[in-house]
């Protein structure tokens, strides 16, 4: 009998653990009814695991994926060439991101409870950071509609870098910022802890996850930007949400759970980390799902395309 001595460094065991989890999890695709969504033979790739906590992925028009490493106060970018670069540091402790049709990167910069508009050349424009005389609680995630209006969630999750310990705003709202008017209005205040947010590409419907309520809701976006017709979409909340061109929604938390446009659960993509924060579609064909999960950035090939 031949004795084999295995290396015991931490990186080795991390790789072994991930590979074992993937080997166990991914044959379940067919049982999850994701065969029409996940590319044939696809495996989850760990692109990099050097972060403290990843969040807010968003792809530009070329398919480069921007995401945040909030504890390290930086916005990173994974390029279509496969390079990992720092885009902006410091970043105002940016969390959720979204790139509008003009190529501007919008960020929930919760160091000072602000929304930032960042140009491709890294010029920063800050929106008003107060509502009715008080600062926001901590903008978390956002979506920019086709007409340029910015919708963002404002829950309260205590941050180590804040000096205040209580929520400045009495209610945890969803807000709408109108860049043309320079105004911010509260459009929804019935949720307990609004978090993940995304809208449909036609700008007619908005989805908002309520973490404390463990539900995701849909709203009709009226012509003036206000919300109406609050409807339960599914009995699951989400840290971040994205949508594909078929109208399927991708919710995060324990891996990535996919629902069709009617709210029917299609299945779950397991991710070998304790928490999956957010997702987006990237690469030049918009046919790769990028996943930010605690310390890692992951990617898996898809049959469907992202709406953004």
What is the tens place of the pLDDT at every residue in 15-73? 333 333 333 333 344 347 899 999 999 999 999 999 999 999 999 999 999 999 999 99
Statement: residue 225 has pLDDT above 50: yes
For the segment 69-98, the average pLDDT, to the nearest whole number, is: 98
- Band (pLDDT 50/70/90 cuts) for residue 138 is very high
User: Per the structure block, which two tokens stand in for 22?
Assistant: 């993937």
Whether 108 and 152 have beta carbons less than 8 Å apart is answered as yes
The sign of the CA dihedral 193, 280, 121, 90 is: positive
Whether 191 and 213 have beta carbons less than 8 Å apart is answered as yes
Statement: residue 3 has pLDDT above 90: no
Task: Note the pLDDT of residue 29.
Answer: 41
In which element (H, E) is residue 94 found? strand 94-99
Task: Note the pLDDT of residue 6.
Answer: 31
Q: What is the pLDDT of residues 158-177, one digit of tens each?
A: 999 888 899 999 999 999 99
Quote the mean pLDDT of the chain: 90
How many residues can be counted in the chain?
308
Task: Note the pLDDT of residue 33.
Answer: 83
Whole-angstrom distance, CA of residue 255 vs CA of residue 249? 14
Higher pLDDT, 212 or 196: 196
For the segment 250-261, the average pLDDT, to the nearest whole number, is: 97
For the segment 266-293, the average pLDDT, to the nearest whole number, is: 97
For the segment 115-134, the average pLDDT, to the nearest whole number, is: 96
User: Per the structure block, which two tokens stand in for 124?
Assistant: 């920063």
Domains of the chain, each with CATH number or no CATH: 10-301 (2.120.10.30)
């Amino acid at each position: 009998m031949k004795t084999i001595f295995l290396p015991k460094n931490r990186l080795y065991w991390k790789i072994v653990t991930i590979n074992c989890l993937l080997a166990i999890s991914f044959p379940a695709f067919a049982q999850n009814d994701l065969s029409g969504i996940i590319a044939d033979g696809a495996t989850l790739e760990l692109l990099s695991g050097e972060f403290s906590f990843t969040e807010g992925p968003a792809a530009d028009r070329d398919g480069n994926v921007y995401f945040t490493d909030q504890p390290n106060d930086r916005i990173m970018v994974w390029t279509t060439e496969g390079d990992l670069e720092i885009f902006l540091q410091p970043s105002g402790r940016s969390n959720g991101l979204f790139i509008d049709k003009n190529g501007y990167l919008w960020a929930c910069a919760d160091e000072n409870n602000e929304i930032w508009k960042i140009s491709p050349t890294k010029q920063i424009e800050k929106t008003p950071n107060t509502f009715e005389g008080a600062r926001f609680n901590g903008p978390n995630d956002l979506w920019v509609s086709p007409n340029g209006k910015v919708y963002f969630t404002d829950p309260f999750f205590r941050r180590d870098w804040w000096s205040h310990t209580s929520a400045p705003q009495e209610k945890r709202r969803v807000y709408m910022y109108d860049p043309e008017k320079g105004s911010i209005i509260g459009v929804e205040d019935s949720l307990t802890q609004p978090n993940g947010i995304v809208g449909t590409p036609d700008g007619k419907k908005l989805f908002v996850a309520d973490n404390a309520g463990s539900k995701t809701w849909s709203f009709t976006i009226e012509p003036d930007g206000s919300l109406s017709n609050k409807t339960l979409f599914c009995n699951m909340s989400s840290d971040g949400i994205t949508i594909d061109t078929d109208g399927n929604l991708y919710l995060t938390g324990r891996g990535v759970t996919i629902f069709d446009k009617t709210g029917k659960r299609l299945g779950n993509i397991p991710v070998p980390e304790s928490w999956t924060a957010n997702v987006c579609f990237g690469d030049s064909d918009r046919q790769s799902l990028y996943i930010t999960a605690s310390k890692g950035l992951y990617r898996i090939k898809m049959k469907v395309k992202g709406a953004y």
